[in-house]
A = this chain, B = another copy of it.
Amino acid sequence: MKTPSTSPTSSTPLRGTQPHCQTCSLNALCLPLSLKDTDMERLDDIIRRGRPIQKGQLLFQQGETFQSVFAVRTGALKTYTLASNGEEQITGFHLASELIGLSGYEADCYPLTAKALETTTVCEIPLPQLDTLADELPDLRKQLMRTMGTEIRHDQNMMLLLSKKNAEERVASFLLDISQRYQRRGFSASHFRLPMSRVDISNYLGLAVETISRVFTRFQNNELIETQGKEIILRDMDALYEMAGLVSSTHCEKHDE
């Protein structure tokens, strides 16, 4: 019983059954979003469901031939790029319903590595079939491009974070980002389990592990959060939003000034 019942990862839709997009509880968040039933069936036909991959295992590796994109069904992964000196930079964490691998679209091989943070199941979508289907189903094509657009905006927000924010602002932004993503999935926005280690967080945020730890402690002393290992409770989300520099949504608001 390592994960308490509050943990989002403990809820695994479709475990043990042969899953289909039509019956998947994530289809309103995932690629089938906005697809008609008949279209969803065609997408469903090309999707391959593999056995779970264990914590620490790779889904694909930087440099391998680009063959498929993946949707996370349960669990969580991190994706990272390798610098030539061997250092890794985590570019994203991926929770259930999120799509991985589209960034390799143009290239013939994956530009990054995907590693499971815990036991994870994914839906594999082979590129050739997806490509064909994208030409035949306008809704799917739009959804793919929307996904890529979202990824670009995420990465550009990270550039701003890495370039302009201090340690506390980075951690606050990170916690709220995770919070929002869990909320979208119907979980608590304030009480959840971080699937990644402190080291992963520090790498992602461009800080030293020790700094993450110190900021967490400081946030606890100021009663902004409570932590117990990977479990975390956001106690003062307003203050965190303030600190993160996110009044509500950072982009796409009418500017009036």
A93-145 CB contacts (< 8 Å) to partner B: 102-112, 131, 134-135, 138, 141-142, 144-145
Query: Hey, which chain B residues are within 8 Å of A252, CB to CB?
Result: 62-63, 107-111
Whether A84 lies near B156 (C-beta < 8 A) is no
- Per the bound structure, the CA–CA distance linking A151 and B148 in Å amounts to 9
Known: A83-B250, A84-B247. A131 touches B135 (CB 8 A): no
Which bucket holds chain A's interface residue count? 35 or more
In the assembled complex, the Cα of A220 lies from the Cα of B120 at a distance in Å of 51
In the complex, what residues of B have CB within 8 A of residue A138's CB? Answer: 135
The complex places the Cα of A162 from the Cα of B89 at a distance, in Å, of 10
User: Residue A157 at the B interface, CB < 8 A?
Assistant: yes
Q: Is A150 in the interface zone, CB < 8 Å from B?
A: yes
Considering the complex, which residues of chain A in the window 201-248 have a beta carbon less than 8 Å from any beta carbon of chain B?
203, 205-206, 245-247
A163 CB-CB contact with B under 8 Å: yes
Cα of A249 to Cα of B184 in the assembled complex, Å: 38
Residues A103 and B156 in contact, CB atoms below 8 Å apart? yes
Which residues of B have CB within 8 Å of A111? 153, 156, 251-252
A160 at the interface (CB under 8 A from B): yes
* A5 CB-CB contact with B under 8 Å: no
Q: Knowing A138-B135, A247-B84, A250-B84 touch, does A89 contact B152 (C-beta < 8 A)?
A: no
Query: Known: A84-B246, A135-B141, A152-B151. Contact between A105 and B162, CB under 8 A?
Result: no
Instruction: Please report the C-alpha to C-alpha distance between residue A215 and residue B206 in the assembled complex, in whole angstroms.
Output: 22
Known: A106-B146, A111-B153, A148-B152. 9 other contacts (CB 8 A): A62-B252, A63-B254, A89-B156, A89-B159, A103-B156, A105-B149, A109-B252, A148-B148, A152-B155
Q: Do residues A160 and B89 form an inter-chain contact, with CB atoms below 8 A?
A: yes
* A38 on interface, CB distance cutoff 8 Å: no
A85 interfacial by beta-carbon distance below 8 Å: yes
CA distance A62 to B246 in the complex (A): 15
Residue A91 is within 8 A (CB to CB) of chain B in the complex: yes
A190 close to chain B: CB less than 8 A: no
Residue from B81, B135, B146, B152 within 8 A of A251 (CB atoms): B81
Contacts of A151 in B (CB 8 A): 152
A147 to B103, CA, bound (A): 10
In the bound complex, do residue A163 and residue B89 qualify as a contact, i.e. CB atoms below 8 Å apart? Answer: yes
Q: A63-B252, A245-B83, A251-B81 are in contact. Are A159 and B158 (CB under 8 A)?
A: yes
